[in-house]
Structure 1
């Protein structure tokens, strides 16, 4: 018995459509790979994921510190205060005096126990004499009885959206 060998079939040329599709895919991959070169990785960029600003004064940690008001004089202090220490502390918050103002601003204070965290907007902390409109920054002095004093530029925000319930306490008329 003789064995027959079949000659290989002639090679087919790939269709123009297939070549075009493959080349388009390669071009797309190369083009989109270059986007990362020109765009920084967002997790490498530091930012504050809050409306307010942070501040640390010794064992006192303030987070998302903001002033809620409309520029008519009285603002509510909003944010979170945490006593990281092992002893009681008194926290005083006051707006720095505006040289053009006729009356000096008033401040507020709150007591914090060891390892205590409070929501400042629920403590009724208010500052008067703040005429800065929403969108502006107000220099605020923060003093901790256990850690010293610092000045922080705090944003003024309008009492809208989720701040709509954060309003100054009514005054006795």
Structure 2
């Protein structure tokens, strides 16, 4: 090739660049290490809380003041006794006849072995598929001396379903139960 000088005139020579040496490794700051360790410790601590505590939606509970009960085709919900411990309580809650025939429901407190008088009960009739608010029917029990906050064993009998015993809470007649009071007795 004409006009080229030297033996290596047709080749490109490699570019020689100087590559800088890597920077020496820096030790992480004490503050950064402390922050990372604190974060790891917090994550481990809060993970343990979840392991030892069940998820609340997995725990069945009754979201009411009273208790539920089923006797055959009779469904009682939010069953509570409203009173102040003086002897007469009003039965509160709802009763539903889920069956296809009439039924009679009897509710009575179980006798206290230390009491001098036997408690009385109440009775109500329900048509098929009927639901009633028990407090609006004036159902009462007498001879219940349990103070608010206590539990009273109550016998619930359905004419078509049998009998069951339920521990029913006694609630004070205040707040939204302030209008649920025993009927006046004739003197």
5+ residue gaps, structure 1, are none
Q: Quick one: structure 1 residues 7 and 71, their matched pair in 2 at CA, closer, same or farther if it must change by over 3 Å?
A: same
Aligned to 1:139: 153
CA distance in 2: counterparts of 1:97 and 1:30, whole angstroms: 54
Q: Quick one: structure 1 residues 117 and 12, their matched pair in 2 at CA, closer, same or farther if it must change by over 3 Å?
A: farther
* Cα shift readout 1:46-97 (whole Å, capped 9, x = no counterpart): 4333222221110001122111111212110011211111222221111223
CA distance in 2: counterparts of 1:51 and 1:118, whole angstroms: 18
Aligned to 1:7: 20
- Normalised by the length of structure 1, the TM-score is 0.85
Q: Quick one: structure 1 residues 36 and 86, their matched pair in 2 at CA, closer, same or farther if it must change by over 3 Å?
A: same
Alpha carbon RMSD of aligned pairs, Å?
2.2
Aligned to 2:185: 171
* Cα shift readout 1:130-163 (whole Å, capped 9, x = no counterpart): 2222222222111111111122222211112221
Q: Quick one: structure 1 residues 7 and 156, their matched pair in 2 at CA, closer, same or farther if it must change by over 3 Å?
A: same
Aligned residues: 173
- 1:30 has 2:44 as partner: yes
- Normalised by the length of structure 2, the TM-score is 0.80
5+ residue gaps, structure 2, are 1-12
* Cα shift readout 1:110-148 (whole Å, capped 9, x = no counterpart): 222222222211221111122222222222111111111
* Cα shift readout 1:6-49 (whole Å, capped 9, x = no counterpart): 33651552333323222221221122212223333333444333
CA distance in 2: counterparts of 1:123 and 1:65, whole angstroms: 14
CA distance in 1: counterparts of 2:130 and 2:16, whole angstroms: 93
CA distance in 2: counterparts of 1:52 and 1:111, whole angstroms: 21
CA distance in 1: counterparts of 2:72 and 2:133, whole angstroms: 19
Moved over 6 A (4+): none
